[in-house]
Amino acid sequence: MPNTIKTMIDSADAVMLLIDHQSGLFQLVKDIDMLRLRHNVSALAKVSRLAKLPTFTTASVPDGPNGPLIPEIHRYNPEAIHIPRTGQINTWDNPNWVEAIQKTGRKTLLIAATLTSVCLSFPTLSASRLATGSSRSSTLRGTGPPWEPRSRWHVSYRRAPCLSIRTQSSPS
List, by residue number, the catalytic residues. Answer: 119
Q: CA–CA separation, 51 vs 8, rounded Å?
A: 13
Q: CA–CA separation, 108 vs 149, rounded Å?
A: 29
Q: CA–CA separation, 64 vs 34, rounded Å?
A: 20
Helices and strands (H, E) in the chain, number of each type:
6, 7
Three-state SS for 89? coil
Partners of 57 in the β-ladder: 18, 82
